[in-house]
Amino acid sequence: MRVGIVCPYSFDVPGGVQNHVMDLAEALIALGHEVSVLAPADEDAPLPPYVVAAGRSVPFPYNGSVARISFGPVSTARVRRWLARGDFDVLHVHEPFSLSLSMLAVLSARGPVVATFHTAMTRSRAMAAAQGLLQLVLERITARIAVSALARKVQVEHVGGGAVEIPNGVAVAKFAGAAPLPGWPGEGGAVGFLGRFTEPRKGFGLLRTAYADLAATRPGLRLLVAGPGEREELLDGLPAELHGRVTYLGKVSEEDKARMLRSVDVYVAPNTGGESFGMILTEAMAAGTAIVASDLDAFRRVLDGGRAGVLFPVGDAAALGARVGELLDDPARRSALAAAAREVVTEFDWPVIAERVLEVYATAIEATDGRVIDQEVP
């Protein structure tokens, strides 16, 4: 199948949507499909061979962070040229409601269009004002995918119409094969956390409290943290004698993320809410690291009801400390959890997810020309 994928955000900055697009493109190529990805980027930027640069992007504040996007007559011309040259069987756009290449591509498309919605955006005044335009965009889309139940719910309530729910994939092999950082996890054990620790909903404060208690009785226990922020903020509230036992990696690349997850005995996800899917959990599962996570709906589902990771009551630092302590003392239980996690995470492996995306492509093509495509059972 010839597939054209449009990514609205530039590959210069790392981000969830960009990673998703790259992993999907690579999984489709591995399955023998022809893929071209259009994304905003400078012509001389180093890009994977399947990416076509759509030119310079401009910074645009979006959803609390700055996204770099392309929009305007020049971008429109480039999108049209790419579409004409690509002659795709199906066009797959991401986040088509952002003012971006994705929207331009949808409006210029003639054939079947599949759209993936990532963010669970709520209806804004701007969206209400642009209802007519959004309706036109929506009408051009043949099939819709939502990456989480929350994103799907927003579809149903705000835009009208449903979406096929296909979760984010995880490149299991990349995580399972990563080498731990030198010297980690070490004799005394190590606990890990990844994410925006300054954001209350990520629940890092709970882990800080639990770690302070655990570290008091376990002299070798170390804490490994990665994510955007300042070291001072990270250590704020932690007894000074423990500061030396906390390693802060800052913001990490995808490869370092995998290495970081492989470097700890227990990965902790203390989130208190707002998490729609729990991508990081599937990554820790792929890395084969034992998990202690808040008992949120999304986490419980990903962890197969607690079979693939230990759950603790949301917001309960004492329970979190107890669960982590038990796991640190019980290597056999840790490996049992990791084995169960590896089994569960195969459902989220990119080759499996890509097959399901291909089924949506087939359906979109069928709904455009009415013929039914034969697809082998994988």
Partner 1 sequence: MWWVVGVVTVVVLVSTYLTWTAARVDRLHARAAAAAKALDAHLLRRAAAAAVLAEERSAVELYAAARIALDSPPEEREAAENDLTRQLRTIPLDEDAEALVAASRRLAVARQVHTDLVRDALSLRRRRVVRLLRMTRRHPEPEYFDIDDPILAPAAVPTPLP
**Positions that interact with partner 1 (CB under 8 A):** 138-139, 142-144, 149, 160-167, 297, 300-301, 304-307, 344, 347-348, 352-353, 356, 359-360, 362-364, 366-370, 372, 375, 377-378
Q: How far is the CB of 19 from partner 1 (least distance, A)?
A: 18
Q: How far is the CB of 120 from partner 1 (least distance, A)?
A: 16
As given in the structure block, the two tokens for residue 60 are 């645009």
Q: How far apart are CA 312 and CA 262, in angstroms?
A: 22
Between 223 and 345, name the residue whose CB sits nearer to partner 1: 345
Between 190 and 365, name the residue whose CB sits nearer to partner 1: 365
Q: How far is the CB of 304 from partner 1 (least distance, A)?
A: 5
Alpha helices in 155-202 (DSSP H): 172-176
Beta bridge partners of 116: 94, 145
Contact yes or no for 227/197 (Cβ under 8 A): yes
Q: How far is the CB of 110 from partner 1 (least distance, A)?
A: 10
Q: How far is the CB of 92 from partner 1 (least distance, A)?
A: 14
Between 27 and 224, name the residue whose CB sits nearer to partner 1: 27
In 219-289, the DSSP E strands lie at 222-226, 246-248, 266-269
Q: How far is the CB of 212 from partner 1 (least distance, A)?
A: 32
Between 101 and 353, name the residue whose CB sits nearer to partner 1: 353
- Secondary structure letter of residue 67 according to DSSP: E
Contact yes or no for 224/210 (Cβ under 8 A): no
Q: Is 149 exposed, middle or buried (0-12, 13-18, 19+ CB in 10 A)?
A: middle
With CA atoms as reference, report the closest residue to 116 among 14, 3, 209. 3
Between 57 and 168, name the residue whose CB sits nearer to partner 1: 168
CA 340: distance to chain centroid?
22
Q: How far is the CB of 163 from partner 1 (least distance, A)?
A: 7
Between 10 and 276, name the residue whose CB sits nearer to partner 1: 276
Question: What is the three-class DSSP state of 338?
Answer: helix
Output phi, psi for 304, to 5 deg: 55, 50
Between 37 and 345, name the residue whose CB sits nearer to partner 1: 345
